[in-house]
Structure 1
Amino acid sequence: MLELLSPAGSMEAVHAAVQNGADAIYMGYGDFNARRNAKNFTREEFAAAVSYCHLRGCKVYLTLNTLLGDRELPAAAECAADASDIGVDAILVQDLGVLRMVRQAAPDVPIHASTQMTVHNLDGVKKMADFGMTRAVLSRELSRDAIAYICEHSPIEIEVFGHGALCMCYSGQCFMSSVIGGRSGNRGLCAQPCRMRYGWNGKADGNPLSLKDMSLAGHLRELRKMGVACLKLEGRMKRPEYVAVITRVYASAIREGREPTAEEVRQLTEAFSRQGFTEGFYQGKTGPDMFGIREEQKEPRELFALARQTYEDGESQRVPITFYSLIRKGEPAQVGVKDDRENVVTVEGPVPEAARTKPLTPEGVEKQLSRTGGTPYRCEGVRSVVDEGLSLPAAALNALRREALEELSARRMAPPVRRRGTFQPGVRYENRREEPLLTVSVSRAEQVTGALLALSPALIYVPLEELAAHPELAGRGNLAVTLPRIAWDREWKTMTEQLRRVRDMGVEDALVGNLGMLDVAKEMGFGLRGDFGLEIFNSQALKELRHMGLKSAAVSFELKLAQIRDLSKAVDTEIITYGRLPLMIMENCIIRNRTGGVCRHACEGEENLLTDRKGARFPVVRTYGCRNEILNSKTLFLGNKQNDVRRCGAWAQRLMFTVESPAECVRAVERYLGRSDWEPREYTRGLYYRDVE
């Protein structure tokens, strides 16, 4: 059976989800989850929610799926350990350091890989399995064929999003909210800048980044057939009536082995939509039809009033049970009850007396025991052995029924016996005292000029496609290959062929920005270096990378310099100190959408500048697989802050060249080497000096 997973941003939403048929819910506890603006639960509320759900046969997953700093990890460890003690069924994580911490603090609780980990290919899923995770939530951009392939070969459970809001960027790779507004989506406080107005040619006259909500209503049987274990509904920030409506529609369809009806789809639309729904990613049909905005409309009062009734007016009686009774002469009456999890409870009552008028019958016993109204239980049968000629008051049978159900409820709500561990930060690695090396990354082979090479950068990272297409670069400087952050399984053959060519060129190191790319590079003999896409935010994540054999890692540019300085650097640490920071990487090509299907990329001679409502212009460039990447409107520049960079104790600082001309690349390197006073015309310090929420 396809598990239905519903959102719960409040206790009312918990009731709405459970009473409308959710098999599991996901919820936050404390400040460590990807929806920090939702009404997250206190310990007492969380424990009450888990008991409420477990009593009714519904699982609870805790979301710890944000990036956490070193100072936050001890409190998060307490949160994880408490949740394990309470009986949470799994914990979702994004951060490798949080994963490492949860293993210590709550060693027995299952862990799921959040969609924030950008798991989008089979190797990524296998890597999650290597980490000991039991489930991976796939990126929402994947097509049905990609999902089916992963399901067929996956060693762990696969979860996919089935309904709700779509981010324009691959989850876990969006930096737009933090870089522009100081509110990080990777820290649970996305300001949704993609919903704002943007445009081309200096005019913010449209919404080219606002996708319609996803709906896979109509594909439920197909998802179950391909082996998807869980269908997730999005919406922890939405009201409980919405949760009730979407849960009821999907739960009914799944339970009855059908697709939602036209009327049910109308209810989904009325509950919330952005000019309808899209299934473009699932169908493999991206384009302008996938975009829409939220329009002002009247609240669906009648629909929401009916939805409230489903969770305010009693129990839906969702747990099937069977009663057993044994009523014999001279023996205490016995009543047993068995649930769908093979829990069996037996209680004893008074000794029956001889009947003076109307003797007790099996039918009479069944009538009394089957009265489970007002409880979460649904009686599916009563099996009785009743001797003839005996009498037992109805009140006595009612009391036995209540006692049996109370004991059954206590057993269902009892948390599992689990170990509680202690989070240990471990040994501290000291900062480097020597001057950081200078590395550069380029986006085009033409940027690797003789003038640049003459400045002797410690490493020059070149994109896989570019390096494979330019064998003449072999032997020119200390080159490393930059692997794509996104590469589907259908692209794997081409990617591995390119990697072999690059390895044959003598390139020894690979810069990896997605966990799903690590093993293929390692198997080909490359030394592994971590890129910013791995989202390294704390010392524990660096220790995890050391355990995995990485030589170096670029830390998150959402950290302040002071936080980077305080990291325990288990591997050589790299800081990005120059360049147009990447804000989004997208599967839906907004350049093609703009030009009516003609894909004229910046790399082919035309500059594509996305303009926001304040007039800022963001370059849009091509990346691996004909995807788009949005770059910041301003250039990050720390050339005149080198003393602050040195105090961070890093192995290297990287200059990231994207839209720069070859001459601009050389000027930037010369400045960072202290050979000039050149500065970009307009620049930013990024997030290195300001707090990011």
Structure 2
Amino acid sequence: MRPELLAPAGSPEALRAAAEGGAGAVYLGWGAFNARRGAQNFSQEEFAQAVAWCHVRGVRVFLTLNILLSDRELPEALETARTASRLGVDAVLVQDWGLFDLLRRTLPDLPLHASTQMSVFTSGGACEIAADGCERVVLARECSKEETAAICKNCPAQVEAFVHGALCMCYSGQCAMSALIGGRSGNRGRCAQPCRLPYGVNGAAKNQRPLSLKDSCLADHLGEMAEMGVACLKIEGRMKSPGYVSAVTNVYARLLEEGRRPTAQEREVLERAFSRSGFTDAYWGGTKGPEMLGFRPENAEAAPAVEAPRREEGRVPVRFTCRVEAGKPCLLTAEDPEGRAVTVSGPLPEAARNRALTPEDLAARLSKTGGTPYRCARADAYADPGLSLSAAAVNALRREALEALSAARSQPPKRREHFPLPPLPEQDCSQEEPRFTVSVLTAAQLTGGVLDLRPARVYLPLELLANVPSLPETEAEYCAILPRVWRDRDEDLLRRWLDKARTLGASGLLLGNLGHFPLARDGGWRLYGDYGLNVFNSRSLDYLRKKGLESACLSFELRFSQIRDMKKLLPAEAIVYGRLPLMITENCLIQNSAGCRCDRPNFLNDRTGAAFPLLPAFGHRTEVQNSRPLYLADRPYWRQLGLCYARLRFTTESPEDCARLCRAYQEGAPAAGEFTRGLYQRGVE
């Protein structure tokens, strides 16, 4: 079955370019809650018109509500989805767990798609969100051909994959670089794209772009994607011009219709529309490396704002059936491919004075549908002999029938609504003062000085637990941190490591991805949520509580006041010390820039002189840390927010520094050296 082609519509003009260029569906933003808040987007009136206009033309419309939402924003976001549903939107893309849960409960017939911001890259993660009621899963851009095929095979939900457009260096939904450096959150639709700026690695010249990837182009792989069962091919670009949307959509529509690869001329069209030093298909091929890097000069010409050419094959095929009988009003029925049929009547035919109307004449007149979204696929005409009907009457009949058919095609479906909002549970897990937890990166950091803090929990990477002979005795609960990024093929190894962790005395697991749930569930572990789950509101806590978590770490993009006002339906944790993670990347930034030297300190250097530590992550990936650690020991307000746990996150600190910092938090000592207060007070856009 041919996959659906999904094109971006950042404006009404881009929407028209996408639809007339051959897209089977478009995705667009309306309101304040979408991941491209810098695009022109749509007003409510424009959105209503867009849905009707697209549905007449057989184009589906998906609304993007794919950002993290605060408690105060959830009701408005839900009302946006409710209005969109009433207008007939075909699906809503969601990132936030709380909104997802609310939509499933209040608008059960509205199809939901898991945004790529949910960071789904395993079969387990895809099946988990499908079991919760998601119709389609948008996979991480980093998934290879083999990984995508496995998810298509294993997941009952539809699978959507990006085929063209910009690549972020960080996994979508896991990037905090824009937020922590400039206060503009990618998780809130305000990414400032710091990855496109110049940097150096390990003191090298700071005019390189080690975080800027070429745009993806999978035009050569559409056939294999269709064969493996990818349901939808997505073009990125809601910030792009209508000219870009027109050019790219036209090429991909032709390739899908004709079942072939692009010609040299079509490749040139794609590259002229927009590229960063060319294109890459490395992730799809299961490779990575510095050849994926690319950037676009500031003086590069933008794609011309051209009018999308009208594509005859993109018009809706209609079957006409017309009867012209003596003494009866003429009747015309128009039927679309989905079986919708409308019938309209016209004037009584007159007796022919000269040439009588023939069925062939009538069929020829009906087939003239130029200037409409329709084309005549078949015209069955019946005319009694000796009758006459003017061309104007036939034209009016055809026009009235197509208008009635358009009204039928744009009629919103009837969907159930369960309002008012379901109440949150009454339970309150808040505490007067939080207990400390500690996460370490190395065994050497776990000193007596750290354990003297009497932490409630000690978090250690699962990879570390797999390679240490024993752990110090402590009253703290040992918990394994599951890798933030992995693949289906890694899960047997991870299960063996979990068995080893249990023998060392670990009893808890820290989950940072939806795919961790099926990996960890039913193993007798106590399950806790990590920051990678992006918990931003009370409803998200409720959703994760129902999935079996016993506590959850809140997003460090929240303000203190938002944490304070959040209903603690689970014991809540916040990071109060440490270098906060800015990115996790499929590419090893160290390998790309300096060769394999992951066994020693490595840094990303920006133009201001800031040095961001680069830490190796599971699977030869890289986690970029903030240049300055978060320090709040002398700002005790975090103790008064109802948190159950306050985490000290040790990464690059020496064992002596870890012990010193634990004492500092016990004593409320003032900060020394360079540090940051994070986003807890200033918040993010």
Shorter-chain TM-score category? over 0.9
Higher mean Cα deviation, 81-90 or 277-286? 277-286
* Residues 438, 457 of structure 1: 8 Å contact kept: yes
The aligned runs of 1:214-225 (5 Å cut-off) are: 214-225=216-227
> Shift of residue 522 of structure 1?
1.5
Higher mean Cα deviation, 420-429 or 151-160? 420-429
2:388 is aligned, of 377, 386, 391, to 391
> Shift of residue 341 of structure 1?
1.0
Q: Does 1:466 align with 2:464?
A: yes
- Match of 2:654? 661
List per-residue Cα deviations over 1:331-374 (Å, max 9, x = no partner): 32111111111111112222323322211111100111001011
- Match of 1:442? 440
- Match of 1:72? 73
3-state DSSP of counterpart to 2:220 = coil
The aligned runs of 1:670-689 (5 Å cut-off) are: 670-674=663-667, 677=669, 679-689=671-681
List per-residue Cα deviations over 1:656-682 (Å, max 9, x = no partner): 0111111111111111122x7374421
* Residues 475, 506 of structure 1: 8 Å contact kept: no
- Match of 2:173? 172
The aligned runs of 1:263-412 (5 Å cut-off) are: 263-296=265-298, 299=301, 304=304, 307-310=306-309, 318-412=315-409
State how far apart, in whole Å, the 1-side matches of 2:506 and 2:601 are: 31
State how far apart, in whole Å, the 2-side matches of 1:615 and 1:454 are: 36
> Shift of residue 101 of structure 1?
2.4
- Letter paired with 1:42: S
> Shift of residue 430 of structure 1?
4.2
> Shift of residue 297 of structure 1?
5.1
The aligned runs of 1:470-619 (5 Å cut-off) are: 470-473=468-471, 476=474, 477-595=476-594, 598-601=595-598, 604=599, 606-619=600-613
3-state DSSP of counterpart to 1:669 = helix
- Letter paired with 2:146: D
- Match of 1:620? 614
- Letter paired with 1:379: C
TM-score normalised by the chain length of structure 1:
0.96
State how far apart, in whole Å, the 2-side matches of 1:315 and 1:562 are: 56
State how far apart, in whole Å, the 1-side matches of 2:537 and 2:26 are: 29
State how far apart, in whole Å, the 2-side matches of 1:40 and 1:536 are: 26
* Residues 26, 61 of structure 1: 8 Å contact kept: yes
3-state DSSP of counterpart to 2:99 = helix
- Match of 1:48? 49
* Residues 500, 524 of structure 1: 8 Å contact kept: no
State how far apart, in whole Å, the 2-side matches of 1:300 and 1:193 are: 21
Q: Does 1:245 align with 2:244?
A: no
- Match of 1:235? 237
The aligned runs of 1:623-662 (5 Å cut-off) are: 623-642=617-636, 644-662=637-655
State how far apart, in whole Å, the 2-side matches of 1:116 and 1:260 are: 30
List per-residue Cα deviations over 1:611-656 (Å, max 9, x = no partner): 00100000001111111000000010101112x0121110010000
List per-residue Cα deviations over 1:96-135 (Å, max 9, x = no partner): 0111222244332100000000000000001111210000
Higher mean Cα deviation, 418-427 or 328-337? 418-427
> Shift of residue 428 of structure 1?
5.2
State how far apart, in whole Å, the 2-side matches of 1:234 and 1:309 are: 18
State how far apart, in whole Å, the 2-side matches of 1:31 and 1:557 are: 21
Q: Does 1:122 align with 2:123?
A: yes
3-state DSSP of counterpart to 1:382 = strand
> Shift of residue 478 of structure 1?
2.1
* Residues 431, 648 of structure 1: 8 Å contact kept: no
- Letter paired with 2:678: G
- Letter paired with 1:406: E
- Match of 1:146? 147
* Residues 667, 678 of structure 1: 8 Å contact kept: no
- Match of 1:106? 107
3-state DSSP of counterpart to 1:523 = coil
State how far apart, in whole Å, the 2-side matches of 1:187 and 1:539 are: 17
List per-residue Cα deviations over 1:263-319 (Å, max 9, x = no partner): 111011001111100111111121110001112456377xx36x31527xx988610
3-state DSSP of counterpart to 1:275 = coil
> Shift of residue 523 of structure 1?
2.1
> Shift of residue 431 of structure 1?
6.3
Structure 1 runs not aligned, ≥5 long: none
3-state DSSP of counterpart to 1:691 = coil
State how far apart, in whole Å, the 2-side matches of 1:627 and 1:250 are: 32
3-state DSSP of counterpart to 1:62 = strand
- Match of 2:132? 131
1:455 is aligned, of 439, 446, 453, to 453
State how far apart, in whole Å, the 1-side matches of 2:316 and 2:177 are: 45
> Shift of residue 384 of structure 1?
1.7
3-state DSSP of counterpart to 1:673 = helix
State how far apart, in whole Å, the 2-side matches of 1:548 and 1:201 are: 42
- Letter paired with 2:70: G
CA 1:461/1:288 → structure 2, altered by over 3 Å: closer, same or farther? same
Structure 2 runs not aligned, ≥5 long: none
Higher mean Cα deviation, 658-667 or 230-239? 658-667
* Residues 117, 172 of structure 1: 8 Å contact kept: yes
* Residues 582, 629 of structure 1: 8 Å contact kept: yes
- Match of 2:190? 189
State how far apart, in whole Å, the 1-side matches of 2:500 and 2:53 are: 58
How many residues get paired? 681
Q: Percent identity?
A: 51
> Shift of residue 499 of structure 1?
1.2
3-state DSSP of counterpart to 1:36 = coil
State how far apart, in whole Å, the 1-side matches of 2:84 and 2:154 are: 32
Higher mean Cα deviation, 453-462 or 42-51? 453-462
* Residues 425, 540 of structure 1: 8 Å contact kept: no
- Match of 1:691? 683
CA 1:474/1:222 → structure 2, altered by over 3 Å: closer, same or farther? farther
State how far apart, in whole Å, the 1-side matches of 2:90 and 2:124 are: 25
State how far apart, in whole Å, the 1-side matches of 2:366 and 2:288 are: 57
* Residues 323, 338 of structure 1: 8 Å contact kept: yes
3-state DSSP of counterpart to 1:310 = coil
Q: Does 1:87 align with 2:65?
A: no
RMSD: 1.6
List per-residue Cα deviations over 1:244-266 (Å, max 9, x = no partner): 00000001111111122111110
3-state DSSP of counterpart to 1:266 = helix
3-state DSSP of counterpart to 1:12 = helix
> Shift of residue 502 of structure 1?
1.5
3-state DSSP of counterpart to 1:119 = coil
TM-score normalised by the chain length of structure 2:
0.97
- Letter paired with 1:335: L
Higher mean Cα deviation, 446-455 or 559-568? 446-455
